Chains A and B, each alone.
Chain A
Amino acid sequence: MAVATQGASSGINSQNTRTLLRVSILFLIAAAAVASRLFSVIRFESIIHEFDPWFNFRATKYLVANGFYKFWDWFDDRTWHPLGRVTGGTLYPGLMVTSGVIYHALRALTVPVDIRNICVLLAPAFSGLTAYAAYLLTNEMTTSSSAGLLAAAFMGITPGYISRSVAGSYDNEAIAIFLLVFTFYLWIKALKLGSMLWGALCALFYGYMVASWGGYAFITCLLPLHAFVLIGMGRFSDRLYVSYTTWYALGTLASMQIPFVGFLPVKTSEHMPALGIFGLVQLVGLLQYVRSSMSAKQFKTFVITVLVGAIGIGLAGLVGLTSLGYIAPWSGRFYSLWDTGYAKIHIPIIASVSEHQPTAWPAFFFDLNMLIWLFPAGVYLLFQDLRDEHVFVVVYALFGSYFAGVMVRLMLTLTPIVCVSAAIAASQILDTYLSAKKPNLEDVTDAGSTDAKPAKTSGLRVSSKPAVGIFTLVSKALVVGGMVVYLLMFVSHCTWVTSNAYSSPSVVLASRMPDGSQHIIDDYREAYQWLRQNTKEDAKIMSWWDYGYQIGGMADRPTLVDNNTWNNTHIATVGKAMSSSEEVSYPIMRQHEVDYVLVVFGGLLGYSGDDINKFLWMVRIAEGIWPEEVKERNFFTSRGEYRVDAEATDTMKNSLMYKMSYYNYHSLFPAGQTVDRVRGARLPDQGPVLNTIEEAYTTENWIIRIYKVKDLDNVGRDLAAAASFDRGQKKKASKKKGPRVLRVD
């Protein structure tokens, strides 16, 4: 018996038990990560959310149905109607290919799963991998065995990452964050070992990342920055040379394989830091080599000449090539990160996206809870023992914080490093208070009554006291208990946020009835289904660009513009059609062969994300192209108010958007009580009159209204005259005058 118990107790700390614990903890973390992302699937159903994922889903279906090569050369003639989109060359194929591979792998294993379910559940599956990658990355940073597991747990459930990776959120970020963290892990590994193989692996995963998300530029800039800071700190080493050059040479070639990226790595400013540091690393490597064979004085001359010459030439070359136009300057999206006022003035289409706004403080606490205050502590702790890989965390933390402060969306890239450094701080606390052994007190005069005895006053009183305060059971229990409470609160916060804020599919709107039961408003799918079943296969739908992907995905009809905002003028055309009067819009719609116009109207239900609230952006974007014809000023009253009621300006009342939104709306209410519940405005009894389009469908809650564009009049009248004739309005009795128009034969 005694032998057996001894064996068991020594087994508790043995390597095997630890490994078992580790593996099971990691599995539990992965399970928690997956489980916390399933709220929306359980509550609603397994569908794709939001807007962008609908395109990814559609592309994935195309890939699965037609094979890889067809997908690669896919010309999509059902978007951007007259133009079409060279889809194979304008998307990041990583996401689609990943789910395609999973789809076929599961089929090969005789588990035929619907492609929709793979797409819906891809993000939760990858979040488990992300947690594992965070574990690996953190283990590279610290020797503490708990930090990695903590980081994995944080990464698994923190809302900052869940917000973009719930089930159904089939977006590029779903796999990109895993690739980001894993690439960083491989980079750190390569740097530590100075191994070409790890560098090559890093480059391969970097290539995969490039194939998946436009945010790869973050890696492209962060790794050179890390290398640069290391060089600046005098920490250049052969390991840095090997890992950086291997990564750059292979990674750049790998990134150029993606058609959407193509020659960008040699032609745009975003990629120039990597190239510049590549050159600098060569130079410093050469100097390092030469140094061993020269006297100090000779070396000095050599260094100054070579370094100054080369850097000067490099910088001059960069400036020259940029100003000559060989190297493209920063793109607007990237530039607006530095000059935060730029987008609002010059590119309204970037500023119009709600994710591109600056982040408010509460968002940080909301998304990261206690991690946000452990984060700086972790960075500080890493400063204390500043190894090469810690420099990376510091650099990443600085840049990640800046970008996350400038743009809400980039909270996502900050989250991994917050998890890593918060885990380091938390594990430091736990290590200190859990496993710190009571020091041997023999050198202290009296171990029993330490604080009672002032001891011999040979110096400062503090130094003569033994440092045993934190070793008492009470202090340990107090601090560890506090930490545990915080950790538990973190879990409950994360679950609450995920459940309440981030798990609603924007396709179906949920509302609560007075008795607490749930009421689902499913107008979007109702309308799209109507379009799918009751219009001809190639009927062109005009709507604002937000709904382009959903129409393509759910209604399967060609659209004029969609969420891939590559052609600003085309979007402005739609904006002009929406914001002009019918006489102006009708020719535009005819020219673009529009059959149906779709508007989103939330006035009846109080759904605030409708097209009247987005209307000013349409006006602004149109004004950017046709400043003479569309003027934002005209949509405001003389007192500068944006109104929709009787006080609204004539331009507003005559605009197609206004007419489409409020057409027949007054018929729902008794006279004098027509109310728009979003704007809180009382509308006039007489609704707008439509001449060139007719109402085709309006959903149950009036959220989506679809109008059919009328054909030309048979008799050749203009449609306004024809419509007024149909309404029985007599033409104004004109005096018998001769015809005013000359006939031209």
Chain B
Amino acid sequence: TPWDKVLINLYNHYIDETPQRTKLLDVFLVFLAAVGALQFLYCVLAGNYPFNAFLSGFGATVGQFVLTISLRIQTTEANKSEFPQVSPERSFADFIVCSLILHFFCINFIN
């Protein structure tokens, strides 16, 4: 079926083309997605009573997820042309600063 083909194609492409460091980032992304999904599931099952706690936990995973993807985008060779002024080191520093801000807000919000 076409869908199998698509997925196999995607998988092969990923395994072949992705450098080691990016794969490491992807593992982190998978982890974050799993944590976020678990929290959401728990919220659905057990109710959202301390809603700020749910929001800050979930927001932390989502925020960290998009920040990591941003780091991944900026450090990918193919995207070099899009970010002429952002070196990988710079983007890692940005990533750290943004993550610190994110965690400050989350910890403040979780009370």
Interface residues of A (CB under 8 A from B): 193-197, 199-200, 203-204, 237-239, 241-242, 245-246, 248-250, 252-254, 256-257, 263, 266, 282, 285, 290, 292-295, 298, 301-302
What residue in chain A is nearest B76 (Cβ atoms)? A238
Q: Is the CB of A263 within 8 A of B85?
A: no
The 19 listed contacts between A and B (C-beta, < 8 Å) are A193-B83, A196-B70, A196-B71, A196-B97, A197-B97, A242-B70, A242-B74, A246-B66, A246-B70, A248-B66, A249-B59, A250-B102, A252-B59, A253-B56, A254-B105, A256-B55, A282-B66, A293-B14, A298-B2
Q: Is the CB of A239 within 8 A of B83?
A: yes
What residue in chain A is nearest B100 (Cβ atoms)? A200
What residue in chain A is nearest B17 (Cβ atoms)? A293
Indicate whether B9 reaches chain A with its CB closer than 8 angstroms: yes
Q: Is the CB of A245 within 8 A of B102?
A: no
Q: Most chain-B CB neighbours within 10 Å: which of A199, A249, A290, A292?
A: A249
Task: Evaluate whether A263 and B55 lie within 8 angstroms (CB atoms) in the complex, with A253-B105, A253-B109, A257-B109 already known.
Answer: yes
User: How many angstroms from the CA of A337 to the CA of B9 in the assembled complex?
Assistant: 50
Nearest CB of A to B9, in Å: 6
- A204 contact set on B, CB distance < 8 A: 101
| Nearest 9 CB-CB pairings of A with B | A293-B13, A249-B63, A245-B66, A196-B94, A253-B105, A242-B70, A197-B94, A200-B98, A238-B73
* Interface positions of B from 73 to 111, Cβ below 8 Å from A: 73-74, 78-79, 82-83, 85-86, 91, 93-95, 97-98, 101-102, 105-106, 108-109
| Given A193-B85, A253-B59, 13 further pairs, Cβ under 8 A | A193-B86, A194-B83, A195-B83, A200-B98, A239-B83, A242-B74, A246-B70, A250-B102, A256-B109, A285-B69, A292-B78, A294-B10, A295-B9
Q: Is the CB of B102 within 8 A of A290?
A: no
- B43 contact set on A, CB distance < 8 A: none
What residue in chain A is nearest B78 (Cβ atoms)? A292
User: How many angstroms from the CA of A35 to the CA of B110 in the assembled complex?
Assistant: 45
- A249 contact set on B, CB distance < 8 A: 59, 62-63, 66-67, 102
Nearest CB of B to A245, in Å: 4
User: How many angstroms from the CA of A249 to the CA of B36 in the assembled complex?
Assistant: 14
What residue in chain A is nearest B6 (Cβ atoms)? A298
- A285 contact set on B, CB distance < 8 A: 69
User: How many angstroms from the CA of A302 to the CA of B71 in the assembled complex?
Assistant: 26
Nearest CB of B to A285, in Å: 7
- A195 contact set on B, CB distance < 8 A: 83, 85-86, 94
- B55 contact set on A, CB distance < 8 A: 256, 263, 266
Q: Is the CB of B9 within 8 A of A298?
A: yes
- A245 contact set on B, CB distance < 8 A: 66-67, 69-70
Out of A194, A237, A293, which one reaches B74, CB within 8 Å? A194
Indicate whether B51 reaches chain A with its CB closer than 8 angstroms: yes
Nearest CB of A to B39, in Å: 14
Nearest CB of A to B26, in Å: 11
- B10 contact set on A, CB distance < 8 A: 290, 293-294
Nearest CB of A to B66, in Å: 4
Q: Is the CB of A250 within 8 A of B63?
A: yes
User: How many angstroms from the CA of A644 to the CA of B2 in the assembled complex?
Assistant: 82
Q: Is the CB of A200 within 8 A of B101?
A: yes
Interface residues of B (CB under 8 A from A): 2-3, 5-6, 9-10, 13-14, 17, 51-52, 55-56, 59, 62-63, 66-67, 69-71, 73-74, 78-79, 82-83, 85-86, 91, 93-95, 97-98, 101-102, 105-106, 108-109
What residue in chain A is nearest B105 (Cβ atoms)? A253
Q: Is the CB of B66 within 8 A of A237?
A: no
Q: Is the CB of A238 within 8 A of B83?
A: yes
Q: Most chain-A CB neighbours within 10 Å: which of B51, B93, B101?
A: B101
- A242 contact set on B, CB distance < 8 A: 70, 73-74
- A292 contact set on B, CB distance < 8 A: 13, 78
What residue in chain B is nearest A301 (Cβ atoms)? B2
User: How many angstroms from the CA of A294 to the CA of B9 in the assembled complex?
Assistant: 7
Q: Most chain-A CB neighbours within 10 Å: which of B55, B71, B78, B108?
A: B55
Q: Is the CB of B106 within 8 A of A194?
A: no
User: How many angstroms from the CA of A207 to the CA of B23 in the assembled complex?
Assistant: 34
What residue in chain A is nearest B62 (Cβ atoms)? A249
Out of A196, A238, A239, which one reaches B67, CB within 8 Å? A196
Nearest CB of A to B86, in Å: 6
User: How many angstroms from the CA of A200 to the CA of B91 in the assembled complex?
Assistant: 13
Q: Most chain-A CB neighbours within 10 Å: which of B51, B93, B98?
A: B98
- B74 contact set on A, CB distance < 8 A: 194, 196, 238, 242
User: How many angstroms from the CA of A282 to the CA of B66 in the assembled complex?
Assistant: 9
- A238 contact set on B, CB distance < 8 A: 73-74, 79, 82-83
- B52 contact set on A, CB distance < 8 A: 256, 263
User: How many angstroms from the CA of A301 to the CA of B2 in the assembled complex?
Assistant: 9
User: How many angstroms from the CA of A266 to the CA of B109 in the assembled complex?
Assistant: 14
Nearest CB of B to A532, in Å: 40
Q: Is the CB of B82 within 8 A of A194?
A: yes
User: How many angstroms from the CA of A257 to the CA of B82 in the assembled complex?
Assistant: 34
Nearest CB of A to B82, in Å: 5
User: How many angstroms from the CA of A204 to the CA of B97 in the assembled complex?
Assistant: 12
Q: Is the CB of B98 within 8 A of A250?
A: yes
User: How many angstroms from the CA of A72 to the CA of B101 in the assembled complex?
Assistant: 22
Q: Is the CB of A199 within 8 A of B82?
A: no
- A246 contact set on B, CB distance < 8 A: 66-67, 70, 98
Q: Is the CB of A241 within 8 A of B73?
A: yes
Q: Is the CB of B62 within 8 A of A200?
A: no
- A294 contact set on B, CB distance < 8 A: 6, 9-10, 13
What residue in chain B is nearest A293 (Cβ atoms)? B13
User: How many angstroms from the CA of A256 to the CA of B111 in the assembled complex?
Assistant: 12
Q: Most chain-A CB neighbours within 10 Å: which of B2, B6, B10, B95?
A: B6
- B95 contact set on A, CB distance < 8 A: 196
Out of A250, A266, A298, A302, which one reaches B101, CB within 8 Å? A250
Nearest CB of A to B60, in Å: 8
Nearest CB of B to A111, in Å: 32
- A256 contact set on B, CB distance < 8 A: 52, 55, 105, 109
Q: Is the CB of A250 within 8 A of B94?
A: no
What residue in chain B is nearest A302 (Cβ atoms)? B6
Out of A196, A239, A257, which one reaches B98, CB within 8 Å? A196
- A237 contact set on B, CB distance < 8 A: 82
Q: Is the CB of A196 within 8 A of B91?
A: yes
Out of A200, A241, A266, A298, which one reaches B97, CB within 8 Å? A200
User: How many angstroms from the CA of A203 to the CA of B63 in the assembled complex?
Assistant: 12
Q: Most chain-B CB neighbours within 10 Å: which of A241, A246, A252?
A: A246
Nearest CB of B to A284, in Å: 13
Nearest CB of A to B87, in Å: 11
What residue in chain B is nearest A256 (Cβ atoms)? B109
What residue in chain B is nearest A203 (Cβ atoms)? B101
- B102 contact set on A, CB distance < 8 A: 249-250, 253
- B69 contact set on A, CB distance < 8 A: 241, 245, 285
User: How many angstroms from the CA of A144 to the CA of B17 in the assembled complex?
Assistant: 43
